[in-house]
């Protein structure tokens, strides 16, 4: 596989226990055809030896700003100009602070200041350090300068704490690099509207019906379409995700609100993608007060009415009909049910996911889908939703704008 063939990646490694994972990162980047040069800080060398990275990258590792031998081979300014991506993984709190402050007191910080390459950081630190207002302010400063911040993930840490601060796994970082550097469709001038997340159908002031959708798939699609240059309106049910850069977000709660927002967005869009898990039914009435247990009975019934089918309504338009893509979340006979929805809802394309599969579908970082359209089907391997979204946006664009 050579998705990163000849891409020039400068990998900066700073001091942290996650530095050992960077060896696997180099291996994976090389496997995909990237040319990787490694720069290590003094702190990084306390955790892992440069020789490991020399063997994996096939090039001497750069460690010193003022090393005459290294400067003779490829000077630091030359290295800064050579890179098309500088990825620092792990990026310690100290590195974030230095870069935010524009300092150049070692080789890595000097290279970052001297380079016009895209800069991406994979933070790794103790959770309290990550949450500290000083680190948060540094991250804000860096993002305002278009530095990409990949992660961190949350979980148990080497120090015994639990929380955000773990470096993203090498596989996830490679997916980010691929989605950044891979050639993609040019969607400038195109408008995408995308629904994401669950809907929440109220029963009374304290209860509601909903599902396990996290919004990750729809948000990843919105980010991918935006990266390709499209104007993107993201209609989001109640989820806990940051808005992708440059995307216009409309927050909604229930299916009828989502339909209203979707119809408005569809008037202006070229492509409509329904990745939301819309509740098919809602309670017939919303009680004004909290519903009480009925005395003496251990059974009760809930009257439900059907919600509008948002994507079918948009696909049925005679005028201003966008290229319309649905998703199908199925637990059995996945392709059969998805094909039924493709034709019943009159969609141009449907993306079927088997949501019974482990580590795929609802509320997972990954998904495995089959894309169906009236002319056939394409099965895609299980991958991170961020990487999958890039692929799907490419496939959708190829069909929607083929003439």
| Residue 271 found at the interface with ligand PMT (CB under 6 A) | no
Interacting stretch for ligand PMT, rule CB under 6 A, among 15-23, 242-250, 356-364, 391-399?
356-364
Q: Using the minimum distance from each CB to ligand PMT, give the nearer residue, 110 or 307.
A: 307
CA 208 to CA 206: how far, in whole Å?
7
Our CA dihedral for 244, 223, 175, 25, rounded to 10 degrees, sits at: -30
Task: Convert 319-347 to b/e letters by CB count within 10 Å (16 or more is b).
Answer: eeebbbbbbbbbeeebbebbbebbeebbb
| Residue 217 found at the interface with ligand PMT (CB under 6 A) | yes
Among 327, 342, 366, 396, interactor with ligand PMT by CB under 6 A: 327
CA 195 to CA 272: how far, in whole Å?
8
| Residue 310 found at the interface with ligand PMT (CB under 6 A) | yes
Q: Per the annotation, does 311 bind a ligand?
A: yes
Interacting stretch for ligand PMT, rule CB under 6 A, among 32-40, 200-208, 213-221, 246-254?
213-221
> Residue 393 corresponds to which tokens in the numbers above?
């946006």
Judge if the upstream peptide bond of residue 152 is cis by omega within 30 degrees of 0: yes
| Residue 283 found at the interface with ligand PMT (CB under 6 A) | no
| Residue 315 found at the interface with ligand PMT (CB under 6 A) | no
| Residue 353 found at the interface with ligand PMT (CB under 6 A) | yes
| Residue 123 found at the interface with ligand PMT (CB under 6 A) | no
Interacting stretch for ligand PMT, rule CB under 6 A, among 42-50, 107-115, 144-152, 277-285?
277-285
| Residue 166 found at the interface with ligand PMT (CB under 6 A) | no
| Residue 328 found at the interface with ligand PMT (CB under 6 A) | yes
Q: Using the minimum distance from each CB to ligand PMT, give the nearer residue, 47 or 362.
A: 362
Helix (H) or strand (E) holding 163: strand 162-166
Q: Per the annotation, does 309 bind a ligand?
A: yes
Q: Give start and end residues of each alpha helix (H) in 13-132.
A: 21-31, 42-47, 50-57, 68-73, 76-82, 93-100, 107-114, 127-131
Let me know: does 142 contact 149? Beta carbons within 8 Å. yes
* Residues whose CB is less than 8 angstroms from the CB of residue 227 and which lie 6 or more positions away in sequence, other chains included: 179, 180, 184, 390
Among 311, 387, 393, 395, interactor with ligand PMT by CB under 6 A: 311
Give the nearest distance from C-beta 319 to ligand PMT in angstroms.
Answer: 19
| Residue 255 found at the interface with ligand PMT (CB under 6 A) | yes
Q: 155's torsion region: left (phi>0), alpha (psi -120 to 50) or beta?
A: left
- Closest by alpha carbon to 362, among 221, 215, 222? 215
Where is the binding site, in residues? 280, 290, 308-311, 327, 341, 345
Residue numbers at the binding site for ligand PMT (CB under 6 A): 195, 197, 213-217, 255, 274-278, 280, 307, 309-311, 326-329, 341, 353, 355, 361-363
């Amino acid at each position: 596989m050579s998705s990163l063939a000849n891409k020039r990646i400068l990998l900066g490694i700073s001091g942290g226990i996650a530095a050992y994972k960077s060896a696997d990162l180099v291996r994976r980047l090389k496997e995909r055809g990237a040319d990787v040069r490694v720069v290590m800080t003094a702190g990084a060398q306390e955790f892992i030896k440069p020789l490991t990275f020399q063997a994996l990258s096939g090039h001497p590792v750069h460690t010193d700003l003022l090393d005459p031998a290294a400067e003779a081979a490829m000077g630091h300014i030359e290295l800064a100009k050579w890179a098309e991506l500088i990825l620092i993984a792990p990026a310690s709190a100290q590195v974030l602070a230095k870069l935010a402050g524009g300092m150049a007191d070692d080789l890595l910080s000097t290279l970052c200041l001297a380079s016009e390459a895209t800069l991406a950081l994979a933070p790794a630190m103790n959770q309290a350090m990550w949450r500290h207002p000083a680190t948060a302010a540094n991250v804000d400063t860096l993002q305002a300068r278009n530095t990409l911040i990949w992660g961190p993930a949350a979980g148990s840490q080497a120090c015994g704490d639990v929380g955000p601060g773990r470096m993203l796994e090498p596989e996830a970082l490679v997916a980010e690099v691929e989605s950044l550097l891979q050639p993609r469709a040019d969607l400038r001038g195109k408008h995408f509207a995308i629904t994401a997340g669950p809907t929440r159908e109220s029963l009374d002031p304290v209860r509601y019906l909903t599902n396990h959708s996290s919004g990750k798939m729809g948000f990843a699609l919105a980010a991918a379409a935006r990266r390709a240059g499209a104007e993107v309106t993201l209609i989001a049910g109640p989820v806990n995700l940051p808005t992708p850069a440059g995307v216009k977000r409309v927050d909604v709660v229930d299916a009828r609100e989502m339909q209203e927002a979707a119809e408005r967005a569809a008037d202006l869009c070229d492509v409509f993608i329904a990745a939301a898990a819309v509740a098919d039914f809602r309670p017939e009435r919303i009680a004004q007060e909290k519903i009480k247990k009925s005395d003496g009975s251990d059974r009760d019934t809930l009257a439900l009415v059907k919600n509008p089918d948002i994507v079918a309504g948009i696909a049925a338009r005679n005028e201003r009909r966008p290229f319309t893509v649905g998703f199908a979340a199925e637990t059995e006979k996945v392709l059969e049910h998805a094909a039924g929805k493709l034709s019943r809802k009159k969609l141009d394309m449907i993306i079927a996911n088997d949501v019974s599969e482990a580590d795929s579908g609802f509320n997972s970082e990954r998904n495995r889908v089959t894309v169906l359209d009236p002319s056939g089907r394409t099965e895609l391997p299980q991958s991170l939703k961020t990487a999958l979204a890039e692929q799907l946006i490419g496939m959708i664009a190829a069909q929607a704008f083929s003439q």
